[in-house]
């Protein structure tokens, strides 16, 4: 029987957890078991179909494991005996561990549509060979229907149009694409950018069946419409991959994620940890269960889990939810709560907006207009959320807002922010949009607190 100090099951967050463990406990033996021979960058999967040109250009290099002296076994774990601390692999190898980390990720959410078994109907799996086959079929397609107008759906739609003479239609149940992530003004802007590429968007429409013979030929909607299709991609969402954990007797929580404490330990067994999409998680803001699945959240949890294996070091503060996307060259990002979130929860907030070019002067090459929206608690002045649209700096600006949220910064704190600026790299220091938006919040906040 093989023995190890730490056994990690899983891909992307598993790599992060294993590396974190070696950084904190360099003398411990760490073994990572994963089913896939190659780990894909999850957020890069839509870009396989356009920008990067294939799955081979969207991989996490295994050199990270070698550099950190982590042993890799390509196989599938089929059972976990937590009493004897033994994991059995599909090839019947048994591995005894001191600490075990579940990082088994998620699986695509597949609704019960009739016709899912037809040829050229695909879900978004994180599998190299599967996506290679999907790419080949996309390159042959003439009429593509994408079910789901969230990030995955709109990114696939944008990428499938690149370099191809193909009809692409997005079908979304809600009143606009990206409605679960962005406020209305950003949803509208994003939809317009997507339509500019030639993508057709059908909102407030529900799929009832996928029709055709052996191969898909059409998608039927509840409204009675039929959309011609020779290829369908389902981008509706994902669920925690926890079948193995459930069989092992671990307690599951929200959406059947592995229930963990703030140290990422399973509440069922102090020697078992979980991180990433397979773990249940809670909101930074109110501690309620959160269904957010982001690579940034997964790797943060993985770093916490790896560090805490043999001595509690880091505490998980909950999901802030910071993310960004690019649609037809325009970036959109959000950190924390949206205006829609705060209204749904009856929160009393101050909302401010500002915009400025991301260079100064705005005539610099490749300049874009940055639009920033910030949300503050009316009572305390603490920042609760922010949204940005603009050029490439959008992603990092969203990260800055996320850091402000994590540290409970107030509008007054952000007004005093000392930013580094350069004409070709940032907005002007006298019109830095995050600071300008914070300045606009000071008077109404102080007016309330007098």
Extended beta strands in 207-321, E state: 207-212, 216-221, 226-228, 231-234, 238-240, 265-266, 269-274, 281-282, 289-290
**106-108 and 281-282 strand pairing:** unpaired
Q: To which residue do tokens 């009572």 refer? A: 379
**Contact criterion met (CB below 8 Å) for 140 and 117:** no
Q: How many CA atoms lie within 13 A of 132 on its CB side?
A: 9
Of residues 284 and 447, more confidently modeled: 284
pLDDT tens figures, 247-268:
999 999 999 999 999 999 999 9
Cα distance between residue 321 and residue 298, in whole Å: 11
Name the CATH superfamily for 2-107+239-308. FAD/NAD(P)-binding domain (3.50.50.60)
Q: Which pLDDT does position 116 carry in this prediction?
A: 95
Q: Which pLDDT does position 449 carry in this prediction?
A: 46
pLDDT average, residue stretch 405-410: 98
pLDDT average, residue stretch 325-351: 96
pLDDT tens figures, 190-228:
999 999 999 999 999 999 999 999 999 999 999 999 999
Name the CATH superfamily for 110-236. FAD/NAD(P)-binding domain (3.50.50.60)
Residue 389: pLDDT band (50, 70, 90) is very high
265 token code pair: 């330990």
358 pLDDT above the threshold of 50? yes
* Topology classification of domain 329-445: Enolase-like; domain 1 (3.30.390)
Terminal CA-CA length for the chain:
70
Q: What pTM, to 2 d.p., does this model score?
A: 0.94
Q: Nearest Cα to 369, choosing from 383, 382, 354, 384? A: 354
**Contact criterion met (CB below 8 Å) for 145 and 169:** yes
Cα distance between residue 405 and residue 384, in whole Å: 6
Fold matches, 2-107+239-308 and 329-445:
no
Domain residue spans in the chain?
A: 2-107+239-308, 110-236, 329-445
447 pLDDT above the threshold of 90? no
**Contact criterion met (CB below 8 Å) for 110 and 234:** yes
pLDDT tens figures, 35-93:
988 889 999 999 999 999 999 999 998 888 999 999 999 999 999 999 999 999 999 99
User: How high does pLDDT run on average in the chain?
Assistant: 95
324 pLDDT above the threshold of 60? yes
Core vs surface per residue 340-369: b (16+ CB within 10 A) or e: ebbeeeebebbbbebbbbbbbeeeeeebbe
Residue 97: pLDDT band (50, 70, 90) is very high
Cα distance between residue 126 and residue 11, in whole Å: 10
pLDDT average, residue stretch 394-404: 97
Q: Which pLDDT does position 450 carry in this prediction?
A: 45
**Phi and psi at residue 297, to the nearest 5°:** -65, -45
**226-228 and 265-266 strand pairing:** unpaired
- Residue 346: which residues within 8 A CB-CB, separation 6 or more? none
pLDDT tens figures, 273-319:
999 999 999 999 999 999 999 999 999 999 999 999 999 999 999 99
Q: CA torsion sign, 43 to 48 to 49 to 52?
A: positive
pLDDT tens figures, 122-163:
999 999 999 999 999 999 999 999 999 999 999 999 999 999
**Contact criterion met (CB below 8 Å) for 299 and 42:** no
Cα distance between residue 378 and residue 434, in whole Å: 18
Would you mind telling me the total number of residues written for the chain in this entry?
450
């Amino acid at each position: 029987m093989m023995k190890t100090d730490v056994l990690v099951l899983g891909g992307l967050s598993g790599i992060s957890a294993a590396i974190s463990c070696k950084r904190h406990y360099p003398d411990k033996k760490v073994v990572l078991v994963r089913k896939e021979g190659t780990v894909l960058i999850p957020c890069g999967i839509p870009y396989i179909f356009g920008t990067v040109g294939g799955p081979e250009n969207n991989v996490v290099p295994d050199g990270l494991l070698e550099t950190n002296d982590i042993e890799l076994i390509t196989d599938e774990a089929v059972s976990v005996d937590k009493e004897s601390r033994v994991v059995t692999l599909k090839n019947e190898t048994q591995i005894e561990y001191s600490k075990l980390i579940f990082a088994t990720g998620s699986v695509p959410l597949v609704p019960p549509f009739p016709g899912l078994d037809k040829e050229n109907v695909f879900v978004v799996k994180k599998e190299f060979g599967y996506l290679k086959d999907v790419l080949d079929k996309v390159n042959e397609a003439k009429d593509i229907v994408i079910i789901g107008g969230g990030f995955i759906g709109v990114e696939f739609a944008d990428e499938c149009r690149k370099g191809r003479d193909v009809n692409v239609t997005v079908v979304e149940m809600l009143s606009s694409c990206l409605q679960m992530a962005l406020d209305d003004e950003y949803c509208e802007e994003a939809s317009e950018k997507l339509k500019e590429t030639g993508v057709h968007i059908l909102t407030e429409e529900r799929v009832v069946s996928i029709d055709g013979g052996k191969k898909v030929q059409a998608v039927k909607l509840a409204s009675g419409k039929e959309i011609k299709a020779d290829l369908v991609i389902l981008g509706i969402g994902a669920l925690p991959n926890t079948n193995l954990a459930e069989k092992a007797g671990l307690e599951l929580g929200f959406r059947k994620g592995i229930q963990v404490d703030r140290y990422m330990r399973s509440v069922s067994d102090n020697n078992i940890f979980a991180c990433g999409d397979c773990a249940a998680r809670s909101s930074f803001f109110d501690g309620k269960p959160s269904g957010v699945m982001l690579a940034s959240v997964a790797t943060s949890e993985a770093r916490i889990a790896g560090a805490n294996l043999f001595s509690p070091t880091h505490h998980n503060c909950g999901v802030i939810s910071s993310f960004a996307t690019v649609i037809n060259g325009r970036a959109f990002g959000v950190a924390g709560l949206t205006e829609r979130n705060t209204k749904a929860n009856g929160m009393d907030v101050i909302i401010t907006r500002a915009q400025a070019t991301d260079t100064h002067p705005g005539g610099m090459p490749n300049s874009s207009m940055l639009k920033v929206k910030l949300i503050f608690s009316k009572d305390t002045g603490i920042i609760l959320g922010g949204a940005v649209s603009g050029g490439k700096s959008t992603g990092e600006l969203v990260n800055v807002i996320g850091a402000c949220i994590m540290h409970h910064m107030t509008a007054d704190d952000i007004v005093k922010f000392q930013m580094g600026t350069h004409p070709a790299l940032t907005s002007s220091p006298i019109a830095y949009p995050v600071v300008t938006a914070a300045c606009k919040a000071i008077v109404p906040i102080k007016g309330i607190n007098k």
